[in-house]
Amino acid sequence: MSHPDAAIAALEQEVIALQWTQLDRRHLTYPDIAPIIDELTQHEKLKVTTIGESYLGTPIRRLSLGQGPLIILAWTQMHGDEPTATAAVLDWLRLLLERSPGSLPTDWHELITLHVIPMLNPDGAAQEIRQNGQGIDINRDALVQQTPEGRLLWQQVQRLQPTVAFNLHDQNPYYAVGDSAEPATIAFLAPAYHPDKHVDSARLQAKQLIAHMRHILSHWLPQGIARYDDSYSARSFGDRIAGAGASTILIESGAHRDDPHRQVARRLNVIALQVALEAVLSGAHRDTTLADYYGIPGNTADGFCDIKLCQITLNDGTHEPFQTDICLCLAKGSETLEVDFIGDARGVHGFVEHDARELTLPGLVRIGDDAAALLQRLGLRGEHGNW
Ligand SMILES: [Zn+2]
């Protein structure tokens, strides 16, 4: 169903038409995006700057559009295994280069300069890990700055003095929206810059932009948008950059049912970024309130598992048999399904739930057990997709 706002409906159509189809992948590495950056460079309006290189020597590039006084900076894949927004920002730049101005004023280039750093952590991306080539989590390096990637980001912030900063990540697929049975496909945060979570005018603007983006996106995700916890973390970049005076916005791309490559979150990232860009110029976000922001339900960790076996009976042959829930999740960074939780799993929703009240497993299970073997023993192998 198309968006009731005709301009947003038209935007969605353009976003879909202009996606880089080759980026519809589960994971992205630097060789996946390098040819696209080269292709974008053909546009005379886009300026590409190599700002430095990663610990292991891969170039880190910044793509810039416009020459206005209002500076927007966005970066993606600071965590190497979080690629969704990398595809989204490349889609976004193509949209800005190729679409008719739509709701943007025709002279927007004179009002805004947009800088995008896609894939800040190419070494982590190459290994499909969170950390950089030193094994350091760049997002805990905002104070010490031992990583070349963290230093580059901080340098860019200091040089460019962005008004609005987008810190773009992926979150694990098991976050739920509040206590609902909906995965958090998008989670937003206007990070705190002080332990007391003060709201200055920059942070207020970030919260208003988030409330505005959420309002637009809620057409596609009426229950699927969450608000990330805003506990202050001095060593994290979002918090430090918020402290430098930028309206800083964290967007976490999350899971959506039947969407293993997170293409729903990718598409909605592009729409959110574009809506925010338009709002920065039109002021459309200014009639939202702090209450709108805090009205977004919380982002709940461990709200989901991949498969939930509900009330299965375990019988070790010695003790009294007992009934329990078993949650199965993909092991981190792998395609292997393993036992993640045994016990009372109320409040944890399975992307697939199996009523196992009639099933008895001879023997016990342990956390970390191979779930494929378990499902095989239960005769459920192949019952749920590929498992
Ligand atoms: Zn991350």
The three state secondary structure string of 254-292 is: CCCCCCCCCHHHHHHHHHHHHHHHHHHHHCHHHHCCHHH
Distance 30 CA to ligand 1 centre (A): 17
Dist. CA 324 → ligand 1 center (Å): 33
Summarize the confidence of residues 152-165 as an average pLDDT. 98
pLDDT at 13: 95
Residues, CB within 5 angstroms of ligand 1 (ion): 79, 82, 169
Can you tell me the mean pLDDT for 274-294? 96
pLDDT in tens, 313-328: 999 999 999 999 999 9
| Per-chain mean pLDDT for the chain | 95
Do residues 121 and 148 make contact, with C-beta atoms less than 8 angstroms apart?
no
- Report the Cα–Cα distance between both ends of the chain, in Å, rounded: 32
The average pLDDT across 257-272 equals: 96
pLDDT at 381: 73
Domains of the chain: 6-300 (3.40.630.10), 305-377 (2.30.40)
Q: What percent of the chain has pLDDT over 70?
A: 97
pLDDT value, residue 379: 83
pLDDT of residue 383: 59
Q: Binning pLDDT at 50, 70 and 90, where does residue 103 land?
A: confident
Q: How far is the CA of 207 from the centre of ligand 1 (A)?
A: 20
The total of other beta-carbon atoms located within 10 Å of residue 284's CB is 18
Cα 208 to middle of ligand 1, angstroms = 23
Asked whether residue 385 carries a pLDDT value surpassing 60, the answer given is no
pLDDT at 386 over 60: no
Whole-number pLDDT of residue 5:
94
Element holding 308 (H helix, E strand): strand 304-315
| 231 vs 380, higher pLDDT | 231
Report the separation in Å between the CA atom of 169 and the middle of ligand 1, taken as the mean of its atom positions: 4
Nearest to 367 by CA among 320, 315, 331, 321: 331
Minimum mean pLDDT range among 41-50, 93-102, 242-251, 376-385: 376-385
Q: Is residue 223 over pLDDT 70?
A: yes
**pLDDT score for 378:** 85
Confidence of residue 332 (pLDDT cuts 50, 70, 90): confident
pLDDT of residue 304: 96
Q: How many CA atoms lie within 13 A of 119 on its CB side?
A: 30
Distance 107 CA to ligand 1 centre (A): 34
pLDDT beyond 80 at 333: no
